[in-house]
Structure 1
Amino acid sequence: MANHSLSPDIKEINSKRRWPNIIGAFMLGVLITACNSDNSEETTEEIPDSSGPNSEACKSAENTTQVTDAGVEYMVTPEACFDSLPGYEFAANYAEIDGLSMHYVDVGPVDGDVVLLLHGQPSWSYLYRKMIPILAEAGYRVIAPDNIGMGKSDKPVDVTIHQFEQHVAWTKAFIDKLQLTNINLFVHDWGSLFGLRIAGEMSHHIARLVVANGTLPIIPPGKNPHIYPSFELDESLGDAATFFASRSSDQVEGFQQWIDYASSVPELLAGDVVQVLTVYQLTDEEISAYNAPYPSIDYKAAIRAFPAMFVDIEMQNIIAWQTLGAFHNPFMFNAGEFDRGLGSEENQQKWIEHVPGSDGNDHRRFLAGHFIQEDVGEELAIHLLNFLRTTTPEEPLRAGGPSFNFRYCEILLSYQDGSSITAEIWGTPGVNYCPQAQWEALDLSDIAAEYDALSAIPNGPRFFVVDENLGGDIILPSPDDEYRLFGELEMRLLTSVDLTDSQGEDVAYVPGKVLRDNTWLFYEGRRVYELTDINGQVYIMQSFSRLEDDNLQMDDLKNLGARLNLPEGWTFRSRILNDPLQVSAMDGIAMVLKDDLGNSYQLVP
């Protein structure tokens, strides 16, 4: 167990704070972008020194290129560049990832609970220097890696190697290399794009999750508006202050201008970027420390290329987003008041509402800019310590498949067919994610009248509990699908259901025959939810609904039995699978029923 005895004095910390960076605070007020994580510069005067980033040994170092076995060319920043950095006296550790050395700080008890700190662009582990000692002295093993291409890590010289998926893979490989489990993950800036993706795909390794000014973008296919830059240096580009003063306030255009500027400006100084996006004034030595890894432009491929990585982001983060929507372990989102992009109240609230593990936690807004660790590092560390001490992780969450926690809606249009009553099932899977405003705007009476139906029955929003849909077309559309627009909400015809036994109504605990030829797959380690009827037949939940309870979350389902009005002789249970489970339709028909909250279950043959 970690020793949680440290209790620093916040008043003493506040008394040592430097004067505010008024220009930086003002600039933060106008930086509003979807991924406003990495912007801006101003020139600083070099400070002569016998060591460190301004030393002759650092500036005169040969730009020697090395090559990995896979043919990747890279450079290594001379160690002299890192001498005498204020506040950064941590021993260097290195992990080999794809033939490249990835540097990381590793302090605190080796058997302490792990706190993993991920940074973004253009910072490096120096950003966490104020937080690391506080966490380590409290008994945690604190690990802060430098992204490949940044800090003390090796620096591939080809800008095109710095792709979003590549950095996600490198960060995953780092976690695997160190065999990290039960991770308390703290993510910021591009570190949040990598970290939230990894948290969703390696959720069984995550004990707690904390975001500080971050997000996980998801863009419909073909809708990413940004263009990859040429990376040709443009000597006509002015300094950062001039750039940001003239940058467009339009969200898309402004970020494209940042992509182009970062890739082409001859002098991209990391320290100046941090300073402009920080409320409080950094010292010249601290600014130089952020510049230390990059003695010349040859070392700057990563910090030049990171903004351009946004160009390739579309739907690859959707599975992680869906899994995090079921993440029940403790979650916290902290924001800097002056970061109106990633730290905006809207973005903060989106994540608080999405992740069920956020309930009851102290999500704060600090008097800080985008680089919140620089402005309020000590306070943030203390706040993080309190979160770690007062929350308790539950069972690990098995990372989800493509269907897990997938949001959708359906409308059932019922019709008389001789002595039978059938319903067409129209739904959003494969079309959209059922935007709440469009769903709430539907007039079901008008819909029934328009299509001459006995009734239009709403069914949603719903969320799949299954991991994968094998051999069917429930989620993936086909060229032969029929589409309709209900209000402003587009749906496609999914299948039909026999409602004869329930007299045309969607009645709880009455099975209906659904035409379906697919198999539901539940992963090993998945928690499942089952109804057993009076005859001993077992029905397993395939999706849960917010039709009756707007706030129902995946994590609430394990205690669902106490809320259900079960028929006499029926039982509900929840269990964790020791092996994968497949549930198939029989001869093209699945027997499906709902409970009184609208959650749907399929008969297990």
Structure 2
Amino acid sequence: MSSTRTIKANGINLFVQEEGDGPLILLCHGWPELSYSWRHQIPALAAAGYRVAAPDMRGFGRSEAPADISAYTIFDIVGDMVALVGALGERQAVIIGHDWGAPVAWHAALFRPDMFTAVAGLSVPPPFRGRGRPLDTLSAGGIDNFYWQYFQAPGVAEAELERDVALTMRTVLARGFSDPQSLFVAPGKGFLGAANSDLPLPSWLSEADLAEFIAAYRASGFRGGLNWYRNIDRNWGLTAPWQDAQIRQPALFIAGSEDAVVTGLIGAKRVQEMERVLPDLRRKLIIDGAGHWIQQERAAEVNAALIAFLREAAPRTA
């Protein structure tokens, strides 16, 4: 059984779920999620002989949410993961991330190859640092309604998403990002669009699971997670020293074939070309018919792929 505790790391309190013994595996969730999103992976990886730690990331769930927007840069968040490894009494770990957690994992491997010996990213390809600030690039391309842009003004998205947290979580998790149009905000509609409180849940998400997310977001609100988006351009500036750098550790990529994050024009190109950034990419697994919440939707296939990768890239010594 997994246990939970709050650990001081990088100056903030992180709520962490832990289970198992062996080489350390960090699991980094995305938005709008929690460590609970890894509920199928934590026991499976522990049973395979690994020590698993899954935090509520900075600004999410029961972890601390600093007030300052600038406290949510990629440096701060990777710093949390570096400090967490040390706080757990370890020097090295494999880092695995999904959605926003994937850029955290990729950048952790990029910044600290001495600590993060292997890396897996789910649903979001590795970083291709473009030649201009991401939000400026969108505007220059005539796009003004992408959800990243809608999330920028403090308080706007919070007001919409917190108005009815149950409706928000049902809409975002049940709808997912299978429709590319879900990434664009229609004028006057908000991020949720024509939300439907009777939207049926997919087979992989129970009402009890949904209730976990609803309770957590009613308590925390959405500000912390949204602040990650408000650092997108700042992150571009901070990562200038790693322009065209490669992540040389053993790497794994997993995504769903119906996930708009990887099927859109930019995402599809990044998936196709990721070997440029990942010269030791061991496997690129695109799970047919799966959507964005891949480790929840297709737990058995994701677990099997992760365990096979870990046995190869981070074998148990005992």
Shared fold per TM-score greater than 0.5:
yes
Large movers: runs of 4+ above 6 Å: none
| 2:160 corresponds to 1:267 | no
| Partner of residue 364 from structure 1, selected from 240, 265, 285 | 285
Aligned residue for 2:7, secondary structure, equals strand
Count of residue pairs the alignment pairs up: 277
**Equivalent residue runs for 1:154-193 within 5 Å:** 154-157=64-67, 159=69, 161-193=71-103
Q: Measure how far apart 1:153 and its partner are.
A: 1.2
**Equivalent residue runs for 1:379-398 within 5 Å:** 379-391=301-313
Structure-2-length-normalised TM-score: 0.75
Cα distance between partner residues in 1 of 2:134 and 2:276: 25
Q: Measure how far apart 1:220 and its partner are.
A: 3.2
Q: From the superposition, tell whether residues 351 and 186 of structure 1 become closer, same or farther in structure 2 (CA, over 3 Å).
A: same
Letter aligned with residue 271 of structure 1: M
Specify every segment of 5 or more residues in structure 2 that has no aligned partner in the other structure, as ranges: 179-201
Q: Measure how far apart 1:128 and its partner are.
A: 0.4
Cα distance between partner residues in 1 of 2:313 and 2:77: 30
Letter aligned with residue 174 of structure 2: Q
Aligned residue for 1:303, secondary structure, equals helix
Conserved 8 A contact 2:105-2:121: no
Q: Measure how far apart 1:306 and its partner are.
A: 2.6
Deviations for 1:58-92, whole angstroms, at most 9, x for unmatched residues?
Answer: xxxxxxxxxxxxxxxxxxxxxxxxxxxxxxx7321
Q: 1:276 — aligned with what?
A: 175
| Partner of residue 142 from structure 1, selected from 52, 55, 58 | 52
Q: Measure how far apart 1:157 and its partner are.
A: 4.6
| Partner of residue 341 from structure 1, selected from 253, 261, 266 | 261
Cα distance between partner residues in 2 of 1:321 and 1:133: 37
Q: From the superposition, tell whether residues 353 and 133 of structure 1 become closer, same or farther in structure 2 (CA, over 3 Å).
A: same
Higher relative contact order structure (alpha carbons within 8 Å, sequence separation ≥ 6): 2
| Partner of residue 235 from structure 2, selected from 293, 299, 313 | 313
Tell me which protein shows more strand as a share of its residues: 1
Conserved 8 A contact 2:3-2:17: yes
Conserved 8 A contact 2:12-2:64: yes
Q: Percent identity?
A: 22
| Partner of residue 250 from structure 2, selected from 330, 334, 357 | 330
The structure with the larger Rg is: 1
Cα distance between partner residues in 1 of 2:40 and 2:112: 28
Q: Measure how far apart 1:119 and its partner are.
A: 1.1
Structure-1-length-normalised TM-score: 0.42
Conserved 8 A contact 1:102-1:152: yes
Letter aligned with residue 173 of structure 1: A
**Equivalent residue runs for 1:155-554 within 5 Å:** 155-157=65-67, 159=69, 161-214=71-124, 215-216=126-127, 218-220=129-131, 224-225=135-136, 253-255=145-147, 256-260=149-153, 262-265=157-160, 266-267=162-163, 269=165, 271-272=169-170, 273-277=172-176, 280-281=202-203, 282-296=205-219, 299-320=221-242, 322-325=244-247, 327=248, 329-342=249-262, 344-358=267-281, 361-366=282-287, 367-391=289-313
Conserved 8 A contact 1:200-1:319: no
Q: Measure how far apart 1:370 and its partner are.
A: 1.5
Q: From the superposition, tell whether residues 222 and 385 of structure 1 become closer, same or farther in structure 2 (CA, over 3 Å).
A: closer
Cα distance between partner residues in 2 of 1:139 and 1:152: 27
Aligned residue for 2:231, secondary structure, equals helix
Deviations for 1:285-342, whole angstroms, at most 9, x for unmatched residues?
Answer: 211211222325x6432133232222323243344464435x0x32111111122224
Q: Measure how far apart 1:283 and its partner are.
A: 2.1
Q: From the superposition, tell whether residues 363 and 160 of structure 1 become closer, same or farther in structure 2 (CA, over 3 Å).
A: closer
Aligned residue for 1:363, secondary structure, equals strand
Conserved 8 A contact 1:96-1:102: yes
Letter aligned with residue 163 of structure 2: E
Letter aligned with residue 229 of structure 2: P
Q: 1:406 — aligned with what?
A: none
Q: From the superposition, tell whether residues 162 and 388 of structure 1 become closer, same or farther in structure 2 (CA, over 3 Å).
A: closer
Conserved 8 A contact 2:105-2:119: no
**Equivalent residue runs for 1:10-89 within 5 Å:** none
Cα distance between partner residues in 2 of 1:177 and 1:320: 27
Q: From the superposition, tell whether residues 142 and 321 of structure 1 become closer, same or farther in structure 2 (CA, over 3 Å).
A: farther
